[in-house]
Amino acid sequence: MPFRVKFPLTCIVALVALAGWFYMGWLGQTGPQWAVAFLGPFMVFALWVFPEVARK
């Protein structure tokens, strides 16, 4: 996936995770709030962990 697509996607994932963290806090869901705190950064990591398939 090209950088110009992957970078905005990363930003959206981070923003949604941040919103989810606040939402879980507002609901008083402590466990899921911690899970969101883990999931957001982990999804960002997952987006970038493998290099793009490219020709040598």
Partner 1 sequence: MELASSDMSDRQRKYRETYRQRVTGWYNGWLHIAIIYIIGVTALYIYIANLSNVTPLQWLIVPVTFLFCNFFEWWLHRFAMHRPSQNPVFRAVYNRHTLMHHQFFTEKEMRFADHLDYRVTFFPPFALATFTLMSIPGALVSGWLFGANVGWLFIATTTSTYLTYEFMHYCCHVNENAFVRWMPFVNTLRRHHTAHHAQSIMMERNMNLTFPIMDWAFGTSDLNRGLLGTLFNGYGTKHLKTDMRKTSRTPRPRGSKPAGMQPAE
Binding site for partner 1 (CB under 8 A): 1, 5-6, 9, 12-13, 16, 20, 24, 27, 29, 31-32, 35-36, 38-39, 42-43, 46-47, 49-56
Alpha carbon distance 50, 34 (integer Å): 26
CB atoms within 10 A of CB 16: 14
Query: Least CB distance from residue 10 to partner 1, whole Å?
Result: 9
Q: What is the CA radius of gyration of the chain?
A: 14
Name residue 44's amino acid. V
Query: Least CB distance from residue 40 to partner 1, whole Å?
Result: 10
Query: Least CB distance from residue 26 to partner 1, whole Å?
Result: 12
